[in-house]
Amino acid sequence: MAIANGAIRLEHVTKRYAKVVALNDLSLSVEHGVFGFLGPNGAGKTTAVKILLGLTRPTTGSGSLAGAAFGSKPSLGRIGYLPELFRYQSWLTAREVLALHCELAGIDRARWGSEIDRILATVGLADRGTSRVGTFSKGMQQRLGLGVALLDDPAVVLLDEPTSALDPVGRHDVREIIRALREKGTIVFLNSHLLSEVEQVCDAVAIVDRGKVVAQGDLTQLLRTSSVRVRATGLSREARAAMARFGELDDDADGVVLVKGIERERIPELVSAIVASGARVYAVESQHESLEERFLSLLGQ
């Protein structure tokens, strides 16, 4: 079966370092869009990225990146990568850094000028191309690193904490860049601790803990549960028992009950059950579960 050039696949990958199991039978499949790879420190995220890039080999398991074997020339020629920790020579200008990576990527020299102009404009450094990297703020260096990852329109872009050093304007700009990449069909693999940022740009996520995927899927699926505040009178024991079938109950105030963990599509059914028990409902307020709440809940389990 042919594998799409943009696909990311990890199939039953395990990685052991002596007695430490960094990844434990981890499987992922990303065919399109923006994919968030989330987990606490030490969960195995960095090890998974190293395997994708061919920097280390899995103990067992297999997979592919951009339609080719991990670390192979066909794979590396189709990807862009922004590591969390990187450093460019302080005496080089931004244009010189990009020219160096154009050469490393094997881009035709005749295209260097136009490609560097495009990248500088994309990451908001068009007026700083001749400035030395040593004069850049951390946020500007982050933008330059993102520009290096975007050289030559890669099929897959792996971003490790791309907004960690940016101010709110910079984070907004990076979100717009990521959305533009998605629109033209580039796969973006996003590793980030900023869950609010992930929630704004990702189509799907995987949450990994202790080397295992504990949840994976579209954001709409993972965040299908919510809490509902119900203001009602006449809540008998039978009414509360009926409500408890939909989620965990918590009394918030007089006449207000919080139903936690209810699936949104079951809210009308909840209201019908309350009314059928003889109670009177005056207000129903749904509260959407955030990615951070879901993340903490899964790790707690």
Note the pLDDT tens digit of each residue in 23-75.
999 999 999 999 999 888 888 888 999 999 999 999 999 999 998 999 999 99
What's the confidence (pLDDT) of residue 161? 83
Task: Specify the CATH class of 8-217 in words.
Answer: alpha beta
Q: What is the full DSSP assignment across 45-93?
A: HHHHHHHHHTSS--SEEEEEETTB-TT-HHHHTTEEEE-SS----TTSB
Give the chain's mean pLDDT. Answer: 87
What's the confidence (pLDDT) of residue 40? 83
Contact 162, 86 (CB under 8 A): no
What's the confidence (pLDDT) of residue 1? 33
Write down the pTM of the prediction: 0.78
Note the pLDDT tens digit of each residue in 182-202.
998 999 999 887 787 888 889
Note the pLDDT tens digit of each residue in 90-111.
999 999 999 999 999 999 999 9
Mean pLDDT check: name the lowest of 2-16, 28-42, 133-147. Answer: 2-16
Averaged pLDDT for residues 274-298: 79
Compute the residue count for the chain. Answer: 301
Averaged pLDDT for residues 170-185: 90
Q: How confident is the model at residue 116 (pLDDT cuts 50, 70, 90)?
A: very high
The two counts, helices (H) then strands (E), for the chain are: 11, 13
Averaged pLDDT for residues 125-138: 95
Pick the CATH number of 223-300 from 3.40.50.300, 3.40.50.1000, 3.30.70.100, 3.40.50.2000: 3.30.70.100
Query: Domain segments of the chain: what residues?
Result: 8-217, 223-300
Residue 165: pLDDT over 70: yes
Note the pLDDT tens digit of each residue in 212-262.
888 888 877 776 667 788 888 888 888 888 888 888 888 766 778 888 777
What's the confidence (pLDDT) of residue 98? 97
What's the confidence (pLDDT) of residue 2? 40
- Answer positive or negative: Cα dihedral of 115, 117, 121, 123: positive
What's the confidence (pLDDT) of residue 6? 57
Q: Considering the chain, what percentage of its residues have pLDDT values greater than 90?
A: 49
What's the confidence (pLDDT) of residue 289? 66
Residue 145: pLDDT over 70: yes
The three-class DSSP label of residue 243 is: helix
- Tokens representing residue 129 in the block: 């191309």
